[in-house]
């Protein structure tokens, strides 16, 4: 009986991995404190272990059937990289696991005792960063992952998570796509947090945005701060994408074919194969 159960578990695992390598994500669960969160895992063909991208999504509501992972993941798996997009509490596949961050921020805005900016920053650097770190811990326990070649990437709120996550996690490199573009101007707390964090990073970051995004200051200022302290990074501002700031802000997931080669080259350089990659 024990042998039968062992074989059954093995076959189920193989079938799940095979599903993830066909272009459809494998839905996995991981724990963040007392919460059981979910994420989408895409695997390339082959046995692995694979270099892996942990992708931090933005704040968009109702993220089921995410257009972000659906268009970005295949680009990485085609190049032999695994792609994991964990859903933080209150969004997407983890929508039922806590309040939606934008609801909390809006509630603070209308509160007599709260601050929308302080609430946003506090949530991003505590609950939501903890969720990212829990997802990273899950990845590191998986045999299909090259532990020294885990990079992180994210857009909008997810770009902020890239910077914060690199200060706590052992990523080989990070890609911040328009992190904070909608919030930078109106949040002194966010500016202070990201600038102080970026100065202390030990691994390289690629910043990019479209010219017509809401605000280019985050990428320009953070890359400048890294230059001042001699930290390795790259900044690229791409041409207009669409006709509005909203369309410009969608560039990280709608303009993948434009930026992918630059990002992939950056990650390949800064996440090289090593004798410890296992």
Q: What is the mean pLDDT of each run of 10 residues along the chain (278 residues)?
A: 37 42 83 97 95 96 75 97 97 95 93 84 98 98 97 98 97 98 96 97 97 98 97 97 97 97 98 65
Write out the H or E segment, with its range, that includes residue 259: helix 256-270
3-state SS class at 75 = helix
Q: State the pLDDT at residue 112.
A: 64
Q: What pLDDT does 65 receive?
A: 55
**Domains, the chain, ranges and CATH?**
2-270 (3.40.50.1820)
pLDDT value for 101:
96
C-beta separation of 78 from 44 below 8 A:
yes
Start-to-end Cα distance in the chain: 33
Please identify which residue in the block is written with the tokens 């270099």.
Answer: 51
What pLDDT does residue 18 have? 45
What is the structure's pLDDT at 19?
Answer: 44
Using alpha carbons, list the distances in angstroms from residue 112 to 25, 107, 156, 263.
44, 10, 28, 44
Which residues fall within 8 angstroms of residue 147, CB to CB, at 6 or more apart? Answer: 140, 276, 277, 278
Structure tokens at 123: 């949530």
Sequence-distant (≥ 6) Cβ neighbours of residue 238 within 8 angstroms: 208, 209, 210, 211, 251, 255, 258, 259
- Stated pTM of the model: 0.89
Predicted confidence at residue 62, as pLDDT, reads: 72
Tens-digit pLDDT profile for residues 59-97: 988 765 577 899 999 999 999 999 999 999 999 999 999
Measure the CA–CA gap between 251 and 27, rounded to whole angstroms.
26
Helix %, strand %, coil % for the chain, to 5? 45, 20, 35
**Model pLDDT, residue 273:** 87
Q: Are 151 and 173 in contact (CB under 8 A)?
A: yes
Starting at the edge strand that comes first in sequence, how are the strands of the sheet with 35-42 ordered? 26-32, 35-42, 82-86, 50-56, 145-155, 174-177, 205-210, 233-238
């Amino acid at each position: 009986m024990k042998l039968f159960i062992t074989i059954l578990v093995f076959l189920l695992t193989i079938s799940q991995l095979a599903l993830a390598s066909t272009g459809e994500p494998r839905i996995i669960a991981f724990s963040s404190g007392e919460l059981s969160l979910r994420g989408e895992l895409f695997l390339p063909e082959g046995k692995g272990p694979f270099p892996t991208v942990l992708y931090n999504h933005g704040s968009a509501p109702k993220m089921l059937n995410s257009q972000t992972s659906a268009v970005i993941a295949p680009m990485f798996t085609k190049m032999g990289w695994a792609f994991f997009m964990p859903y933080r509490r209150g969004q997407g596949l983890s929508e039922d696991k806590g309040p939606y961050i934008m609801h909390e921020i809006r509630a603070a805005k209308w509160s007599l005792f709260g601050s929308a900016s302080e609430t946003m920053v506090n949530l991003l650097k505590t609950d939501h960063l903890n969720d990212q770190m829990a997802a990273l811990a899950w990845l590191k326990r998986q045999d299909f992952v090259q532990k020294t070649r885990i990079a992180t990437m994210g857009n909008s709120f997810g770009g902020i998570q890239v910077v914060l996550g690199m200060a706590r996690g052992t990523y080989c490199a990070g890609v911040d796509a328009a992190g904070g573009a909608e919030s930078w101007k109106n949040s002194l707390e966010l500016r202070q947090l990201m600038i102080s964090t970026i100065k202390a990073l030990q691994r390289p970051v690629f910043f990019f945005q479209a010219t017509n995004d809401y605000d280019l200051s985050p990428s320009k200022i953070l890359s400048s701060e890294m230059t001042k302290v001699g930290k390795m990074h790259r900044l690229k501002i791409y041409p207009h994408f669409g006709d509005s700031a909203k369309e410009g802000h969608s560039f990280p997931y709608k303009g993948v074919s434009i930026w992918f080669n630059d990002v992939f080259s950056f990650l390949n350089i800064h996440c090289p194969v090593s004798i410890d990659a296992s």
